[in-house]
Amino acid sequence: MSNKQTEENTVTKATPYVPSSVKKLIDIDPYLTPFAEELAYRRKLADDWLVKLNEKEGGILKFADSYKLMGLHIQNDNSIKYKEYAPNAVSACVIGDFNHWEHDSNVMTKKDFGFFEIVIPPNADGSPAIPNDSRVKIYMTLSDGSKVARIPPYITRATQPPKEYNNSAYEARFWNPEHPYIFKNERPPLPGSLHIYEAHVGISTPEPKIGTYKEFTKNVLPIVKDLGYNTLQLMSIMEHAYYASFGYQVTSFFAVSSRFGTPEDLKELIDTAHGMGIRVLLDVVHSHASKNVEDGLNMFDGTDYCYFHSGGKGVHDQWDSRLFNYGNYETLRFLLSNLKYYLEEFRFDGFRFDGVTSMLYLHHGIGAGFSGDYHEYLSSFAPVDKEAVSYLMLANDLCSEYSREKKCDITTIAEDVSGYPTLCRPRNEGGVGFDYRLAMSLPDMWIKILKHQKDEDWDMAKICYTLSNRRYKEKCVAYAESHDQALVGDKTLAFWLMDAEMYTNMSVLSPLTPVIDRGIQLHKMIRLITQALGGEAYLNFEGNEFGHPEWLDFPRKGNGESYLYARRQFNLIKDDLLRYKFLYQFDKAMNNAESIYTWLNCDPAYVSLKHDSDKMIVFERNNKIFIFNFHPNNSYSNYRIGVQNSGVYRIVLNTDREEYGGHNRIDEGKSRFFTTNLEWNGRANFIQVYIPSRVALVLALESEIDKKN
């Protein structure tokens, strides 16, 4: 055998086998090569489900239409058809206001595979036997002879009984309005960059009360539009019996929260947003469910495994909630139908999937650290819930198929802190299929810096590393602070920066103190550098854009059931005598500048300067120059900045403008920066700028500015 043949055989033996189903993933990231077969196996789990659903259900979209068959539905002749899955029940009937809660009438027929069905004929006058918004339940005799009354899992409306009933358990209601809402507006197209405004309808009012869908539509949507956010992300929509759970202990998955109004009111909110060019995402909770039995999904048919894992595997100890069995056929029917229900019936434009880390791992992320070593995620022995990974793939398949069928753009975002590789690569490459993941390390970084470090100790290199450290070709949603930080017991950025004086020195009639001045300047700079360097999309939780001065505390026994802090004081931005307006105006200007000149959803930035003693950070992204001077005292004249492309640069965003609470130290009319053809900081040219302390600038080529104007 020749030496050449020996070398060829050696290469062949050393080259790992890469299945074609994941070859694109490996081409993008060769370090995934040792895990190619495991990646292919995980993909195959989901692909096999698609084959099964094609054979048995006519495809995943038809399968997800199950919500139209399950639960209670009015028919053309005003009869009402009800279908339910309760494999542990031996008999069942429908009870409610309509039949005076009698157990002997409206008996359901038991079908194969644990299903029960009934058709309730209309009244003699032709009207539906069950009036709109009247109470209903399914009453079941279980295999052990016991009898239980439960809320139907597919119910589309659930309400809390009046307080005089002394019963806090939610009640199922048959929703069949005489005048269903008719959508008027088309879904807006996918914008070039996502500016996401995360909001909770109930707290979106200055008054200490629960806000409504209608109030949000009237009062908050115009603010979202004015600020330049093109995407609204709604929390706490799926019905939850406990208000203070922030919507994360779901009891009725197909019912939108009745605290805020009716399903038709929510449809109007979404339709109005669409008419304003704002897309709407749903914060969907498929990672777990409330443990409630009387008004939840738990123990529905008397077993703990109807939709969930049985025993300890089906309980999340830290969240005190139930965990879905993603390998169960009817669980998949329930969850995938739930997604299509919100896409089709409410016209949501996508989902932010909550608790993805908990779903991905058998340990649910509890007590686990993630170093980034691929073995932690992709080894065949890694503690990964592969059925959950398969479900997430199927969920993204559903959204992709729906997008193609309806010719619209559906967006999916994963809340994952672990950094699971391939989470945000397309399914046809072997990835999980999400469009974005939340960059959850960014808010943690800013809190740690503000909590533990003096300004002069900020590490510019560490800030840049954390902001830019994300997987290649997997998009992230950047955000400077999370909704959790707004909760009582934690602090928002504005609170960390200014809480000592926010209640006394935010009036323009009082002297500007060093604390308030520092807070306003750093608040702007933190948000800008997070947006520009931290991801491919940007998210803000409502109120944070103007430095909301109070924490968020839902009514509970500990605060006397008070709504005083379960609100957002949008009235503050309308008061011309308060400094909150400066932060609001900057947030608006930042989004507007990004919309015009674009730096999100582009290739990652090139950081050319991280100077610790000067406290300077400089980077380029999409040919825009970002200059940050975090120094508390030092301003710099003729500071040399490396730039790649030659030409004349001008300022398109300046945090020091007076209308943003700055000090107007830069004459922008005279600020034109000419490149010198000399390499600087690894760039082909340089410019020299005046950059005051605690100021950030964004520059663009004059030729681009002229084209935009």
Residues forming the active site: 354, 415
Cα–chain-centroid distance for residue 439?
Answer: 11
What the block records as the tokens of 32 is: 């995934």
332 vs 88: CA distance, rounded Å: 19
Phi-psi group of 532: left, alpha or beta (phi > 0 → left; psi -120 to 50 → alpha; rest → beta) = alpha
Which residue bears the tokens 């009207």? Answer: 127
Q: Is the dihedral of CA 628, 634, 639, 640 positive or negative?
A: negative
Query: In this structure, are strands 476-478 and 436-438 parallel, antiparallel, or unpaired?
Result: parallel
Q: What are phi and psi of 340, to 5 degrees?
A: -65, -35
In degrees, to the nearest 5, what angle opens at C-alpha 696 toward C-alphas 692 and 699? 110
DSSP states of 342-372 = HHHHS---EEEETTHHHHHBTTTTTT-----
What the block records as the tokens of 212 is: 């409504």
Query: In this structure, are strands 476-478 and 537-541 parallel, antiparallel, or unpaired?
Result: parallel
Residue 586: C-alpha distances to residues 132, 171, 671 (Å): 47, 45, 20
Torsion of CA 282, 285, 286, 288, to 10 degrees: 180
8 Å CB contact between 157 and 258:
yes
541 vs 103: CA distance, rounded Å: 48
8 Å CB contact between 565 and 553:
yes
639 vs 690: CA distance, rounded Å: 6
Query: In this structure, are strands 279-284 and 231-235 parallel, antiparallel, or unpaired?
Result: parallel
Name the 3-class secondary structure at 406.
Answer: helix
8 Å CB contact between 554 and 613:
no
Nearest to 636 by CA among 595, 693, 676, 593: 693
Cβ within 8 Å of residue 667, ≥6 positions away: none
- Say how many C-beta atoms besides its own lie within 10 A of residue 315's C-beta: 18
Q: Is the dihedral of CA 524, 528, 530, 533 positive or negative?
A: negative
What the block records as the tokens of 687 is: 């410019």
8 Å CB contact between 519 and 527:
no
270 vs 342: CA distance, rounded Å: 11
8 Å CB contact between 538 and 601:
no
Query: In this structure, are strands 648-654 and 695-701 parallel, antiparallel, or unpaired?
Result: antiparallel
